[in-house]
Amino acid sequence: MTLQKLTRKDLLCFTLPWLTPLVATGLALLLASVMPAANLALIYLAAVLVTAISTRVWPALVCALLSFAAYNFFLTEPRYSLRMLHREDALTAALLAMVALITGQMAGRLSEQVAALRASERWNEQQMACARALSVCVDRTTLIKAFAVQLEETLDWYARSVEPDATTLSASPRTVSWHEDPGGVNVLFHGSRGEAANTIRLSATEPTSAWHRERLDVLVNLASLAWGRIELGESLKQETLDKEREQLRSALLSSVSHDLRTPLSTMIGSVSSLIDLSDSLDASQRAELLDNTLTEARRLDRYIQKLLDMTRLGHGELSLDRDWIGLDDLISVVIRRSRPLLKDIELKIDIPPDLPLLHVHPALIEQALFNVLENAIRFSPANGHIRLQALQDDNWLHLDVSDSGPGIAPDKRAQVFDMFHTFSHGDQYAAGTGLGLAICRSIVAAHGGRTSVEDSAPGDGARVRISLPLATPTTMQEDDL
Amino acid sequence: MTHVLIIDDEPQIRRFLTICLGSQGYQLLEAEDARQGLQQAALHQPDLVIMDLGLPDMDGQLLLQQMREFYKGPVIVLSVRNGEKDKVLALDNGANDYVEKPFGANELLARIRSVLRTFGDVAVPPTGYDDGYLRVDLLDRRVSLAGEDLHLSKKEFELLRSLIAHPGRIVTQQQLLKEIWGPHHTHDTHYLRIFIGRLRSKLGDDPTAPRHIETESGVGYRFIGQAD
């Protein structure tokens, strides 16, 4: 753009000084028969004016010289010679030179002012564009990328993001600064401790001048504001996250220490009794102690499984490995796993035939259902019953597990699925870990499903429902049947 | 005397297995890493190998592949719960069954008996099955339930035959899909689910308390019927 303007102006500087006298001479020769020579000098004056306005002082002077020479040569006596007979001719020459000088200078100054005005207008626009571009950036990377683009556009230099130099001295934290060296300029983004967190390298295509420095100062200032805003926002976010994580960690720690210790206490107690008091125990007592140990070890195993599940879910590493699976297949595995826990509790299963296949991650949905069932077993009295029902409702499959325990009051139902939420029912029912249903909710939610506590039938306790969306499998081909 | 090789880096597990299997009259060989395991297997040609998938010096899957180059006997893999992919890979690499850690003694002993039994007469594939209720004649392609003839479609029969051919042992879903529907259908697990469902309902097998076909979730199916 600037280059084009320059060449056009240059073109005028090179052509107008000789073109305008030429045109003026032609015109003057045409009018020479009807006008006195002195008036014809006005045509040359016009030529010099045009040149002076359109170009600069020097081309105007050249134009004045050429104009005078042409006027003298073609139009004044003696014609076709440069000799001057009249004093007026000298005056004409002086007049032309003066017009060239004064107008040329005025025009030059004007065009410089216009150019300066245009440049400053453009610079203002660039600043606004830069501020706009930086204000929409919400993280560090996009900010640095956007700023590099702005620098390239403004300075016409090549910008690229480079690895920050570790030895860079610390500056004020969360600001942006720039440093000049012979090859160009480094723009440094400082982190919360003032260290250079990111750097943009600008390779100069011309020596760094005051013009560049002024622009760098202003743009870097804008970037500094945006950078500070993002840095502060992120550290605030990090603080909230840290706080939440800390709360979860302490809840987890108290849960772990309680839930790992309880079965371990039983196991250590039982086994040490067997070793130390072996002689004074009868066979049935020994068997009971061994049975206790096994039960508690299994409980520990289930608890560890939950912790593992929770870590997987909590870290977002869970990737669904979906497969088509029949509900009866799923339920059969869950029943096999929960059989040792059931003891005297009766499990009633009510699955309508011809249910569609589910498209889920089988192991995860199994775990979700197992957790609900385990919960139901915990709250069911000995000789109680648990009902496992499946029903299809349009594109949803509901799995209901109802126990015969004390039930859950309607106002407490929402909290059931919260992490580390456990109900206290005195010593009658073993307290849960507060993980099982939370894990169940996460798994089901990952499948696009819902978990809820529903109103239970009279005589039943709590009814926990897992709802899963149904998908249609691709149809089988004729020859595959 | 049945020789069993145990490859596990945990001394406590090896000790527990030694006591548990020793009490049942099995002769034990022990290896604490893959290198020792390969040596022992080559040297003694045990009747059964029980191996852990997590070993210090080599990936268990690789050990399985290397061992299968010279060892033809049954292999049981010890795996962790929810590691379906590992289980399937181990079965593909030549394992005959797996037991989830932590496991009870009875569970492991039952699996050992099952693989040893089917390996004992592996030379002669079963020609049929009869437990007094379900009768399957694989040669005549006849199935009867409590004395009454049962009509199975071609694919249903093939599915039943594949399962009966490996009694007590797990057959992976990929294996079944490949055998019955062909190699292009190994991902169409819904085919298998639908046919297992139909087969179960025709055999009157309650999936929640199966007598014949047991589900190994995410891995495959196991024919658990006990022939007379």
Residue A276 lies in a domain: no
Edge-to-edge strands, sheet with B134-137:
B128-130, B134-137, B142-145, B148-150
**Listed range (A251-265, A442-456, B78-92, B127-141) with the worst mean pLDDT:** A251-265
Write the single-letter amino acid at A398. Answer: H
**Listed range (A238-242, A378-382, A424-428) with the worst mean pLDDT:** A424-428
| pLDDT tens per residue across span A354-385 | 888 899 988 889 889 998 999 899 888 888 89
Write the single-letter amino acid at B56. Answer: P
Element (H, E) at A289: helix A283-314
Identity of the residue in B82, B185, B215 whose CB atom sits nearest the CB atom of A329: B215
CA distance A73 to A205: 50
**Quick one: A115 and A139 in the same domain?**
no
Residue A212 lies in a domain: yes
CATH number at residue B38: 3.40.50.2300
How many domains, in total, are found in chain B? 2
**Quick one: A467 and A358 in the same domain?**
yes
For residue B179, list chain A residues with Cβ-Cβ distance below 8 A: none
Mean pLDDT score, B5-23: 90
**Quick one: A105 and A43 in the same domain?**
yes
CA distance A26 to A44: 11
Work out how many CB contacts closer than 8 A connect A with B.
71
Do residues A329 and B190 touch, judged by C-beta distance below 8 A? no
Select from A267, A329, A354 the residue whose CB has the most chain B CBs within 10 Å, as the one to mutate to test that interface: A329
Segments forming the whole domain that contains residue B161: 153-223
As given in the structure block, the two tokens for residue A43 are: 């045509």
* A357 contacts B190? CB cut-off 8 A: yes
Residue A318 lies in a domain: no
Residue B211 lies in a domain: yes
| pLDDT tens per residue across span B68-104 | 999 999 999 988 766 778 888 999 899 999 998 888 8
CA distance B50 to B61: 13
From B62, B93, B118, the end of a domain falls on B118
* B153 contacts A326? CB cut-off 8 A: no
For residue B188, list chain A residues with Cβ-Cβ distance below 8 A: 474, 476, 480
pLDDT greater than 50 at residue A232: yes
CATH number at residue B218: 1.10.10.10
* B197 contacts A328? CB cut-off 8 A: yes
Write the single-letter amino acid at A371. Answer: N
Q: Is A199 left (phi over 0), alpha (psi -120 to 50) or beta?
A: beta
**Quick one: B93 and B170 in the same domain?**
no
pLDDT greater than 50 at residue A416: yes
For residue A474, list chain B residues with Cβ-Cβ distance below 8 A: 188, 190
Residue A267 lies in a domain: no
Identity of the residue in A349, A366, A481 whose CB atom sits nearest the CB atom of B217: A366
DSSP conformation class of A412: G
β-partners of residue B134 are B145
**Quick one: B23 and B74 in the same domain?**
yes
**A77-82: long-range contacts, CB 8 A cutoff, minimum separation 24:** A77/A37
Burial code (b: 16+ CB inside 10 Å, e: under 16) for B126-136 equals eeebeeeebbb
* A480 contacts B191? CB cut-off 8 A: yes
Segments forming the whole domain that contains residue A346: 323-480
Residues of B with CB under 8 A from a CB of A: 81-82, 84-85, 102, 104, 153, 155, 181, 185, 188-191, 193-194, 196-197, 200-201, 207-210, 214-215, 217-218
**Quick one: A105 and A158 in the same domain?**
no
pLDDT greater than 90 at residue B66: yes
Is the whole-model pTM more than 0.90?
no
Nearest to A462 by CA among A417, A395, A397: A417
- Confidence (pLDDT) at A428: 46
**Quick one: B107 and B12 in the same domain?**
yes
Half-sphere CA count of A10, side-chain side, radius 13 A: 6
| pLDDT tens per residue across span A142-182 | 888 888 888 888 888 888 888 777 666 667 778 888 888 88
Classified as helix, coil or strand, B57 is: coil
- Confidence (pLDDT) at B119: 76
* B217 contacts A329? CB cut-off 8 A: yes
How many domains, in total, are found in chain A? 3
When pLDDT is cut at 50, 70 and 90, the band that residue A316 belongs to is low
CA-CA-CA-CA dihedral for A109, A113, A115, A119, to nearest 10: 150
**Quick one: A141 and A92 in the same domain?**
no
Identity of the residue in A324, A333, A351 whose CB atom sits nearest the CB atom of B217: A333
Residue A391 lies in a domain: yes
* B215 contacts A333? CB cut-off 8 A: yes
CB neighbours (10 Å) of residue A120? 10
Residue B139 lies in a domain: no
Mean pLDDT score, A308-322: 72
* B200 contacts A324? CB cut-off 8 A: no
Winning range, highest mean pLDDT, from A67-76, A244-253, A419-428? A67-76
Residue A377 lies in a domain: yes
Percent of chain A with pLDDT over 90: 8
**Quick one: B88 and B190 in the same domain?**
no
* A328 contacts B217? CB cut-off 8 A: no
Of all residues in chain A, the one with the smallest CA distance to B83 is A363
**Quick one: B80 and B27 in the same domain?**
yes
Residue A351 lies in a domain: yes
- Confidence (pLDDT) at A426: 46
Mind telling me how many Å the CA of B217 is from chain A's nearest CA?
A: 7
